[in-house]
Amino acid sequence: MKICYLGAGTWGTALANLLAKNGHQVKAWDRNSELVKLLNSTRKHPKLGDFQISKEIQYVETIEEAIKDADLIVESVTSAGIRPVFEAVKKIKGKDLPPIVITSKGIEQHTGLLFCDVLLEILGEENKNKIGCLSGPSHAEEVIKSLPTSVVCSAFDKKVLELIQTAFNSDSVRIYPNSDIRGVLFGSSMKNIIAIACAISDGFGFGDNTKAALMTRGLHEMSKLAVALGCKKETIFGLSGLGDLFVTCTSTLSRNYRFGKLIAQGYNMEDAKKSIGMAVEGTYSCVSAYELGKKLKIPMPLTEATYQILYEGLSPEEAVKALFNRAIKEEHL
């Protein structure tokens, strides 16, 4: 296929490289024109060490050039970039849209929309059956090295789901289909918030017991809010929920985890983001999840505590104290 890839960050680069290895013609665009020029000239991403990117990927400086004659659109832009990028796509393509694969992980702020619903709002219900996604426990640094990885794909339409599975499946990346597109997108968004909380805990030396509690109770919060949003609870216990939660909460390859460690070291949020040098999606989704919890009247103490640390100046020590002084209820899963 001819594939348009929107976004050339580490995740976008890893997946574009995978698609090129699978024999597809890939044209990749990024809003950072200097990065586009660098990738074309060196075939190395500044955040991926000495790895040589496939020469079969053509990097271009405009969305128009990337999207021309595309059989499939794949995106890996930031959460904040989803809406403006697809408004541009709609303006260029009109009704002549190919299938679209969402790989970004987040929930839009203030609207509380999952990214499939953001695209529906922009592109219209008539394009619903063209929207799909890919998600799961998958560090770019490992995917690009062809280390064994299992992820999940989803779509509103079965044919698009099968198309995604065929396009991305390889000897090193195994793609499981799942019909619950909102559940897949939700799980991959919420896990970043819990990862920040776990990293803050690790940074303060609270230990493995604390992290196990945070991950388990965080998973409980994820499943409660997911069900309230109409997602399947079972999806949250699959690759895009529990699987992605585990890999993000336990690895220094995760930018959300590294960000949380910096917060524990005394960095403010902006300085920690600058140190990471890439989008920290958990800081974005934390606002969205906090707002949704309040709107739907769902108690989410761990999400609320993380929000208060990041946006209201609550110290991690006080957050832990408040969490452990909450009334104890029977455990329900």
The residue that leads in pLDDT, 95 or 118, is: 118
Domain end among 140, 156, 181: 181
Distance CA 326, CA 71 (A): 53
- Tokens representing 304 are 């609320």
Are the C-beta atoms of residues 163 and 188 closer than 8 Å to each other? no
Within a domain: 9:
yes
What is the 8-class DSSP label of residue 239?
I
The letter for the amino acid at 97 is L
Average pLDDT of the residues of the chain: 95
Within a domain: 86:
yes
Are the C-beta atoms of residues 17 and 40 closer than 8 Å to each other? no
Q: What pTM value is reported for the model?
A: 0.94
Residues 189, 173 share a domain: no
Within a domain: 331:
no
Distance CA 178, CA 132 (A): 10
Q: Which residue in 185, 163, 143, 161 sits closest to 15, CA to CA? A: 143
Within a domain: 246:
yes
Would you say residue 330 has pLDDT above 80? no
Q: Cα-Cα-Cα-Cα dihedral of 30, 35, 40, 41, to 10°?
A: 170
Residues 167, 157 share a domain: yes
Would you say residue 326 has pLDDT above 80? no
Taking residues 3-16, report their average pLDDT. 97
Are the C-beta atoms of residues 260 and 199 closer than 8 Å to each other? yes
Domain end among 131, 157, 181: 181
Residues 122, 237 share a domain: no
Q: What percent of the chain has pLDDT over 90?
A: 92
Are the C-beta atoms of residues 191 and 245 closer than 8 Å to each other? yes
Would you say residue 331 has pLDDT above 80? no
Would you say residue 332 has pLDDT above 70? no
Number of other residues whose CB lies within 10 A of the CB of residue 296: 13
45-91 confidence digits (pLDDT tens): 999 999 999 999 999 999 999 999 999 999 999 999 999 999 999 99
Within a domain: 318:
yes
Residues 187, 135 share a domain: no
Residues 292, 159 share a domain: no
* Catalytic residue set: 191
β partners of residue 176: 152
Taking residues 176-199, report their average pLDDT. 96
Would you say residue 157 has pLDDT above 70? yes
Residues 97, 241 share a domain: no
Q: How many domains does the chain have?
A: 2
Within a domain: 330:
no
Q: Which residues contact 85 (CB under 8 A, 6 or more apart)?
A: 6, 63, 75, 77
What's the CATH number where 187 sits? 1.10.1040.10
Domain end among 148, 164, 181: 181
Distance CA 229, CA 298 (A): 11
Residues 107, 35 share a domain: yes
Residues 198, 56 share a domain: no
Q: Which residue in 133, 241, 140 sits closest to 194, CA to CA? A: 241
In terms of residue numbers, what domain contains 20? 2-181
Taking residues 286-308, report their average pLDDT. 95
Residues 209, 60 share a domain: no
Taking residues 120-131, report their average pLDDT. 97
Within a domain: 309:
yes
Within a domain: 333:
no
Taking residues 244-263, report their average pLDDT. 96
The residue that leads in pLDDT, 317 or 81, is: 81
Residues 40, 96 share a domain: yes
Residues 96, 136 share a domain: yes
Distance CA 115, CA 217 (A): 25
Q: Which residue in 23, 21, 38 sits closest to 9, CA to CA? A: 38
Instruction: Classify residue 219 as exposed, middle or buried by CB count within 10 Å of its CB (0-12, 13-18, 19+).
Output: buried
Distances (CA, A) of 244 to 2, 36, 201, 214: 29, 29, 19, 15
What's the CATH number where 95 sits? 3.40.50.720
Residues 74, 138 share a domain: yes
β partners of residue 150: 174
